[in-house]
Amino acid sequence: MNTSTQSEIESADAGDMRWYILKVQFNREDTIRAALEKRIRLSTLASSFGEILVPTEDVVEFTRAGKRRVVKRKLYPGYLVIRMIINDDTWFLVRETSGVGDFTGSGGKPTPMTDSDVERIIKMAYPDADDEQVPKTTIPFKSGDQVRVKEGNFQSLEGEVDRIDEANGRVTVIISIFGRSTPVELDHWQIESL
């Protein structure tokens, strides 16, 4: 056992909670978090656990009708972030929860997250009220992409993405009409990649 592993074990024994990444079943992150929280509440080990997070971010999506809506998107599908003290009892409680895979780490030992990674994830989970968070827009195209119009007046025509208006969910596509390059503004759902 090297000295850094030895010091981590000693600090954990001293009651130092650290953040760890936990592999879980894909698309069941929220239900696994709830089940894990319930098991922790029912155990005598609740003082060895802190927060359990499913890191998410706000993303703007546009419906087919052009309506703008903000949804939560998981940053790391298939993973939870948990703050806890690692020992045999806590490790067993977590690992024996249905849907939980294993901790990330090397050599069979959970590796704590770096402070910078923890700070970044906590900032995303709990944004400051002072910070004006502008949700990302999920338009799957970028300037220069070759696309085909799948709906509307220009259906079946092909072109190149020129500009993207994320605020309104619209994409300007350069289409060749009668031998002339013409910019056409379309909703992002009206086009598809080639």
Reading the block at residue 157, the tokens are 């025509």
- Per-residue pLDDT reduced to its tens digit, 16-71: 899 999 999 999 999 999 999 999 999 999 999 999 999 888 887 777 776 778 88
Reading the block at residue 143, the tokens are 């300037």
pLDDT band at 5 (very low <50, low <70, confident <90, very high): very low
Dihedrals phi, psi of 134, to nearest 5 degrees: -100, 115
| Res 132: pLDDT | 57
Residues 6+ apart with CB under 8 A from 147: 141, 158, 159, 160, 161, 171, 173, 191, 192, 193, 194
Report how far residue 107's alpha carbon sits from residue 81's, in angstroms, rounded to the nearest whole number: 20
Whether the pLDDT of residue 4 is over 50: the answer is no
Question: Can you tell me the mean pLDDT for 72-78?
Answer: 88
Q: Domains in the chain, please, with CATH?
A: 3-136 (3.30.70.940), 139-193 (2.30.30.30)
More confident residue, 148 or 9: 148
Which residue's entry shows tokens 């994830």? 121
- Per-residue pLDDT reduced to its tens digit, 106-142: 777 889 999 898 888 888 777 665 555 666 667 888 8
- Averaged pLDDT of the chain: 83
Note every long-range contact of 128-135, with CB atoms under 8 Å and residues 24 or more positions apart, other chains counting.
133/58, 135/57, 135/58, 135/59, 135/60, 135/70
